[in-house]
Amino acid sequence: MLSPVVSNRLVVLDTETTGLNHQEGHRIIEIGCVELINRRITGNRFHVYINPDRAIDQGAIEVHGITNQFLEDKPRFADILDDFIGFIKGAELVIHNAPFDVGFINHEFSRLTDKVGSLDNYSTVFDTLAFARKKHPGQRNSLDALCKRYSIDNSHRELHGALLDAEILADVFLLMTGGQSSLLDEGEAAEQESRNAQQPRQLANNRPVLTVVYCSEQELVEHQHRLDAIKKTSGSCVWAQ
């Protein structure tokens, strides 16, 4: 999870859950994903609320604000599985505190009757929390702390939300791993710059004639005096006379 991101297609992912521990039977209730290609946010997103068929802990509701009543008419995880796998398949997932989300996703996979396998059958994972701890040792590396460190405005984040947090994490990730690239990706931009430097520039035929300004006799005398003074002081003068 600490290996460098090498995939051209990244999916920044976050989840919200009914509680903190899937081993106690807690479930995913929201998934938010944001796509990046060549370090550019494409606008392609995956977002879904999920009926977990169980009660949400009150402490979790206070964090994300999602209620049991709100989820009553939402699809089950099995209903969104194909669309979810279709969105993340082949991408590198960027997740903050990846073991938490990966654990919950694999728990949901394991509950299905079909043999779905585990998340690593479909995607690799880059953990931004582990990366931040390595880059900023001894400092707070929560998503809020990273927003403050990298001057990202998250004032609209009153409650946690999977899609909102994924969008914020995408900005954090780009800055923390080297900043957003230009409209061209780095390789293409460098190649274009090299091509431009090698191409001779054609001057316009109607360009103004260059003005040549010659030294006056007095300026030539003063220049020679300066050369003589340098030669006398240093023993030699390399300037052309």
**Residue 11 in this model has a pLDDT that exceeds 90:** yes
Each residue's pLDDT tens digit, 13-56: 999 999 999 999 999 999 999 999 999 999 999 999 999 999 99
pLDDT of residue 111: 94
pLDDT of residue 4: 44
Q: What is the 3-state secondary structure (H, E, C) of 96-162?
A: CCHHHHHHHHHHHHHHCCCCCCCHHHCCEEEEHHHHHHHHCCCCCCCHHHHHHHCCCCCCCCCCCCH
Using pLDDT thresholds of 50, 70 and 90, give the confidence band for residue 227: confident
Using pLDDT thresholds of 50, 70 and 90, give the confidence band for residue 179: low
Each residue's pLDDT tens digit, 106-116: 999 999 977 89
pLDDT of residue 128: 98
Question: What mean pLDDT is reported for the chain?
Answer: 86
List beta partners, residue 125.
Answer: 93
Each residue's pLDDT tens digit, 197-207: 555 666 667 66
What 8-state DSSP symbol labels residue 40?
Answer: E
Each residue's pLDDT tens digit, 132-169: 999 999 999 999 999 999 999 888 776 689 999 999 99
pLDDT of residue 63: 92
pLDDT of residue 193: 52
Using pLDDT thresholds of 50, 70 and 90, give the confidence band for residue 95: very high
pLDDT of residue 184: 43
pLDDT of residue 185: 45
- Residue 127 exposure: Cα atoms within 13 Å on the Cβ side: 13
pLDDT of residue 1: 44
- Residue 196 exposure: Cα atoms within 13 Å on the Cβ side: 6
The answer to whether the CB of 24 falls within 8 A of the CB of 119 is: no
**Percent of all residues in the chain with a pLDDT value above 70, rounded to a whole number:** 81
Structure tokens at 38: 């060549």
The answer, as to whether pTM is greater than 0.85, is no
**Strand 28-37 relative to strand 9-17: parallel, antiparallel, unpaired?**
antiparallel
Which among 119-123, 182-186, 206-210 has the top mean pLDDT? 119-123
Residues involved in catalysis: 160
Mean pLDDT over 222-226 rounds to 82
> Using CA of residue 151, residue 155, residue 160, residue 166, what is the dihedral sign?
negative
pLDDT of residue 238: 61
